[in-house]
Amino acid sequence: MKVLVTGGAGYIGSMVCIELLNEGHDVFIVDNFSNSEMGTITKIMGITGKMVQYANVDITDRTALEVIFRSYQFDSVIHLAGKKSVSESIENPLQYYYDNLIGTVMLVQLMQQYDVQSIIFSSSATVYHPASICPIQETATLKSSSPYGRTKLAIENFFRELTAAHSNFSVVLLRYFNPIGAHSSGEMGEKPLEVPNNLLPYLMDAVSGKRPILEVFGNDYDTVDGSGVRDFIHVEDLAKGHIKALYYSMQNTGCEAFNLGSGTGYSVLQLIDTFAKVNEIDVPYHIGLRREGDIPVSFADISKAQRFLGWRPNKTLEEMCIDAWRWQLKLLKEQHVEAQIVFPSKKTV
């Protein structure tokens, strides 16, 4: 199949492209490279040995995007392009609604114009009500607590209306929990261009001395050790879920949501301990205050994806930590950063 991947040079998008190419599909990447690099496309081709076509296009640039739709008859679109920082969305809701919601509407206008009837959308667990009971099912109440999350919810609602009006249209909403890790080849992974918001990138920056000590946002929650609990899923497992969603979309119409998580909750302190143990390094951290807006516990019920997509995650938390650190070390070498890593039994490197 010929698949358009928006945001295909990004952290998750690039992993999805690798899985698509490994399955023998043709991939066209559209990315504005605002939070990714063209070098990632070279890496995708290096890892898979396959050619990839791409264009430096913003999905809100309808004219440029139409040239691509006119040139190729896509079978499906995997739509990951969009802004994804909770804190940034609070400061700049206009940009978030424009890029995420209007960008998606413009993309779908072209899909309809060029008879592309299938889309897999990168949604998020952040669409669930903060008080959702865990393990969270897809039928849980939808109510997000940030402008970012509300753009995801608005797009989901837009897709539900669209499939109600167009019976031959197929939409799969993939609600990501907490993707972490890197490609097992060690050649590709997350590369935050600004100060990382998320736990693992910040943890690794603290370990390598690129940033100050990791702050654990609270240890007074009603959890196993007081720190927040999340559903961490290996980015490769997440990417494989997109392939299963693509096949499901080609066989079904309508709008269906699926959780993509590991189905298991681990605490922040458990992740820190696991990371330190499997990589044999110390993680410098201290306990700080809770972060505003954080929910204590979030982990998925993944039985619907298992049943209808035939998908289940395989990678362990240990593998997520090993793969993430392998990639971080490669990044440090590429950036010639002398890591101030304290090895318990060895000297600082």
Pattern 74-93, binding to ligand WQD, x per CB under 6 A? ----------x-x-------
**What stretches of the chain show up as alpha helix (H) in DSSP?**
11-22, 39-48, 62-71, 86-91, 93-96, 103-113, 147-165, 199-207, 235-251, 268-279, 303-309, 317-334
Q: Would you call 248 a catalytic residue per the annotation?
A: no
Sign of CA dihedral 218, 219, 220, 221: positive
Told to check if 176 binds ligand WQD by CB under 6 A, we report yes
Report the candidate in 212, 207, 181, 183 with the shortest Cα–Cα distance to residue 195.
212
Distance of closest approach, residue 124 Cβ to ligand WQD, in angstroms:
3
Distance of closest approach, residue 176 Cβ to ligand WQD, in angstroms:
6
Stretch that binds ligand WQD, among 52-60, 159-167, 192-200, 240-248 (CB under 6 A): 192-200
Distance CA 165, CA 187 (A): 44
Told to check if 230 binds ligand WQD by CB under 6 A, we report yes
Q: For ligand WQD, which residue of 22, 109, 197, 219 counts as binding (CB under 6 A)?
A: 197
Distance CA 126, CA 190 (A): 20
Told to check if 178 binds ligand WQD by CB under 6 A, we report yes
What part of residues 101-130 is at the interface with ligand WQD (CB under 6 A)? 124, 126
Distance of closest approach, residue 156 Cβ to ligand WQD, in angstroms:
13
Kindly name the residue from 11, 54, 96, 148 that is annotated as catalytic.
148
Q: For ligand WQD, which residue of 47, 199, 207, 309 counts as binding (CB under 6 A)?
A: 199
Q: How many Cβ atoms sit within 10 Å of the Cβ of residue 33?
A: 16
Considering the complex, state which of residue 79 and residue 230 has its C-beta at the smaller distance from ligand WQD: 230
Distance CA 245, CA 138 (A): 15
Question: Which tokens sit at 62?
Answer: 């309808």
Give 45: exposed, middle or buried? Use CB within 10 Å, 0-12, 13-18, 19+: middle
Residue 201: C-alpha distances to residues 37, 189, 211 (Å): 17, 10, 10
Considering the complex, state which of residue 150 and residue 230 has its C-beta at the smaller distance from ligand WQD: 230
Which residues carry out catalysis? 148
**Which stretches of the chain bind ligand WQD, using CB under 6 A?**
84, 86, 124, 126, 176, 178, 197-199, 202, 214-217, 228, 230, 268, 291, 294
